[in-house]
Amino acid sequence: MNFFLLFIAISCILTAGCITPETTPENSPVTVPTTESSPVPTTEPPTPSDTITEAAQFTRDDVYELFMDIAFGCDNTGVTMFSPSSENHLFFSVEGQVNSADLDFVSRFTREFNRITPIEVFTDEPLNSRGSPIIFYPDDSLDSLEKRFVACQELDPESGKPLYIIYKSVTELPNGESETTTKIYLNSHLAEAEREHYLQKAMLYYLGFPGQTYNYPDSVFYYNTRSTTDFTPIDIEAMKTLYHPGIYEGMSIQEVRWLFFND
């Protein structure tokens, strides 16, 4: 009998020992969410505040001021704008000492411009022999151009050689009127980032942006840059302003200022 009671006591002790570990996991998960979630606020910076900071870097008036800087310049005293339609798009004719990288850059630029502006200015094939001419010439050929037709130019600060020329030749017609033809010449010795920058500068001129800014060093329109090609957020907003419903061809800078700051 004593042996039987001892056997029952040992069985109860073992049974209690088996049950005890089963109750522990029911309480332990309570601490798991605390240890896993506590690092989240400290390791991940809040993104909404970053977005607000970026958006607050410029105001609507800043955009309008930049637009006036880049829409007027060189010999341009009135707004020039290309108004595309389903049957009318802007094309470029890239001529002279051209390479395949130049043509690829034109295609990339036109695709990007179509994405960032509210209208489609270019087709999928922006190159055409009858398009707005951009001509790569060597130094000797640039020097041979008639100086009286040079509307404006940018010179290399070291060599004094022209890098970029807006050339407007005037032809007298039989009826007594005159016809002006605009061509943009680029120095064929330009390479890599500089070459792309001035090629982009030429395309922007034909789009209606001949001017420059002194206020935004990161802008592609900054007066003292020779290599920038990436548009900043304020660049994009300023270019989109050309398609504001109140803007029209030939509009003077005084009229633009009145539109934006006296409405």
Residue-wise DSSP of 97-142: S--HHHHHHHHHHHHHHHHHSSS----S--B-TTSEEEEEE-HHHH
Mean residue pLDDT across the chain: 83
Q: How confident is residue 263, by pLDDT bands cut at 50, 70 and 90?
A: low
For the whole model, what pTM was predicted? 0.77
pLDDT above 90: residue 88: no
Q: For residue 5, what pLDDT is reported?
A: 42
**Across 228-255, average pLDDT:** 96
pLDDT above 50: residue 151: yes
pLDDT above 60: residue 219: yes
**Across 215-238, average pLDDT:** 96
**Across 155-180, average pLDDT:** 94
**Across 153-178, average pLDDT:** 94
Q: Exposed, middle or buried by CB within 10 Å (0-12, 13-18, 19+), for 41?
A: exposed
CA distance 51 to 208: 31
- Low-confidence winner among 5-9, 117-121, 153-157 (lowest mean pLDDT): 5-9
Q: What is the pLDDT of residues 39-52, one digit of tens each?
A: 333 333 333 333 32
